[in-house]
């Protein structure tokens, strides 16, 4: 048995009696919403999807055989209300549904942002839990259909019934997460590690590394196409190896030359300065600076966000990448398209 520093829960640890006679309201039918709703329904749980009257997702949910109501109606009916709309619209949706929450109901999230940064202040007599699959929704759905699981997290912020954790585990069972393993965390840890990871490494760090590498080659006179392949396209092969077998499998699979070059040069590129910047970024997550910035940005209509997004889209690596990717019939980079279509 593998030794973990934390407890991992599997199917046998979940007691489905904590959810089987309850109604789950799923608010939102996007990436996570469609997967939670369909997986729970197929697991035999009563599900109602809460969507605004004009929402284009209403038809999709009905086609998938699910019952649809307004968010307020669904929440009033639900014993467990799972908030799966975008984080930035959750506070407004919460105002619409709060009157439908009864003592002993559960308000459930898939990310801790709004609770941790006090953007939603839940009534004192409801349970507040988190069940967060560590995958985009289309994989949560696909894995379930293939009798496989998706690893996930659970957390309890408020436990008024004494059953909050058992119910979260039962929900995690219903969407297939306990098949793969579920780790218990806290709202604080989930929120802060998620934000740090996406800012410093996954989304922010990686894209900056890719762009700087690309620009260095192009500025030195190499062709943009070559720079694109070396600095962006091949990243997938490297990441796949790390995903399968950690850093070791990647180092074992590349040439000795690549291994020696990487081991001697990597820490010169991402060095102690980057490490200090990472600590700064972590502090901004911990002390609420980032959350405040993002909340104000949304209130102002996202001026910086839109400007940065435009600049990113017109970067040379994007201009050269679009036609290049079209050359590859085998390119399965349309996962995102699939996800959007499903959403
Ligand atoms: P999403 O953007 O894919 O879907 C949002 C859905 O909410 C839409 O399809 C629509 O049905 C509804 N919606 C959109 N705008 C709305 C509005 N203004 N008012 C009411 N309803 C609206 O969202 P998502 O990515 O599934 O995120 C849901 C939650 O899951 C978030 O808390 C997110 O952090 C968390 N989460 C997401 C992922 C992921 O991979 N996408 C992974 C783990 C956790
Ligand atoms: Mg209710
Ligand atoms: Mg994450
Ligand atoms: Mg995130
Ligand atoms: Mg090479």
Q: How many CB atoms lie within 10 A of CB 222?
A: 13
pLDDT for 331: 56
Specify the pLDDT at position 343: 34
Burial string for 320-331 (b: 16+ CB within 10 Å, else e) reads bbeeeeeeeeee
Low-confidence ranges of the chain (pLDDT < 70): 1-2, 329-343
Q: Provide the 8-state DSSP code for 119.
A: S
d(CA 95, CA 113): 16
Q: What is the pLDDT of residue 14?
A: 98
For the chain, the structural domain boundaries read 8-185, 195-342
**Is the CB–ligand 1 distance for residue 55 below 6 Å?**
yes
Identify the pLDDT of residue 6. Answer: 87
Q: Is residue 16 marked as binding?
A: no
Residue nearest to atom 36 of ligand 1 (CA): 110
Any atom of ligand 1 within 6 Å of the Cβ of 110: yes
Distance 32 CA to ligand 1 centre (A): 7
| Candidates 111, 116, 138, 173; catalytic one | 111
Q: What is the pLDDT of residue 5?
A: 85
Q: For residue range 4-33, what is the model confidence (pLDDT) as tens digits?
A: 888 999 999 999 999 999 999 999 999 999
Count Cβ atoms within 10 A of the Cβ of residue 197 and give its class: 0-12 exposed, 13-18 middle, 19 or more buried: middle
Q: What is the pTM of this model?
A: 0.92
Q: Does the beta carbon of 59 lie inside 6 Å of ligand 1?
A: no
ipTM of predicted complex: 0.95
> How would CATH label the architecture of 8-185?
3-Layer(aba) Sandwich (3.40)
Q: What are the contacts of 186-189 at 24+ separation with CB within 8 A?
A: 186/155, 186/157, 187/109, 187/112, 187/115, 187/116, 187/130, 187/155, 187/157, 188/112, 188/116, 189/155
* Residue indicated by tokens 């050269």: 320
**Residue 31 near ligand 1, beta carbon < 6 Å:** yes
Which residue's CA is the closest to the ligand 1 atom numbered 8?
30
Instruction: Tell me whether residue 138 is one of the annotated catalytic residues.
Output: no
137 is annotated as contributing to ligand binding:
yes
């Amino acid at each position: 048995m593998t030794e973990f520093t934390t407890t991992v829960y599997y199917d046998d640890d979940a007691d489905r009696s904590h959810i089987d006679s309850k109604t789950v309201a799923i608010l939102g039918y996007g990436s996570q919403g469609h997967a939670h709703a369909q997986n729970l329904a197929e697991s035999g749980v009563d599900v109602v999807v809460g969507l605004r009257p004009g929402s284009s997702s209403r038809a999709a949910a009905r086609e998938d055989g699910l019952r649809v109501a307004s968010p307020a109606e669904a929440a009033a009916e639900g014993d467990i209300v799972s908030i799966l709309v975008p984080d930035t619209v959750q506070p407004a949706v919460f105002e619409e549904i709060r009157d439908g929450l009864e003592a002993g109901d559960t308000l459930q999230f898939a990310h801790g942002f709004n609770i941790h940064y006090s953007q939603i202040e839940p009534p004192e007599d409801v349970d507040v839990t988190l069940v967060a699959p560590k995958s985009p929704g289309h994989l949560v759905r696909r894995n379930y259909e293939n009798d496989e699981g998706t690893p996930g997290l659970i957390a309890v912020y408020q436990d008024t019934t004494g059953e909050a954790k058992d119910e979260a585990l039962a929900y995690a069972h219903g969407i297939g997460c306990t098949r793969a393993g579920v780790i218990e965390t806290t709202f604080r840890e989930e929120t802060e590690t998620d934000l740090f990871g996406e800012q410093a490494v996954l989304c922010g760090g990686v894209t900056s590394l890719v762009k700087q590498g690309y620009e260095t080659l192009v500025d030195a006179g190499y062709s943009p196409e070559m720079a694109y392949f070396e600095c962006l396209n091949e990243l997938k092969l490297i990441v796949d190896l790390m995903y399968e077998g950690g850093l070791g499998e990647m180092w074992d699979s590349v040439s000795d030359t690549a291994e020696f070059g990487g081991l001697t040069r990597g820490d010169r590129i991402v060095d102690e300065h980057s490490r200090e910047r990472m600590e700064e970024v972590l502090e901004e997550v911990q002390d609420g600076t980032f959350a405040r910035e993002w909340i104000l940005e949304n209130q102002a209509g996202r001026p910086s966000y839109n400007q940065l997004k435009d600049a990113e889209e017109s970067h040379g690596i994007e201009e050269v990448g679009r036609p290049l990717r079209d050359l590859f019939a085998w390119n399965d980079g349309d996962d995102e398209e699939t996800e959007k279509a499903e959403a």
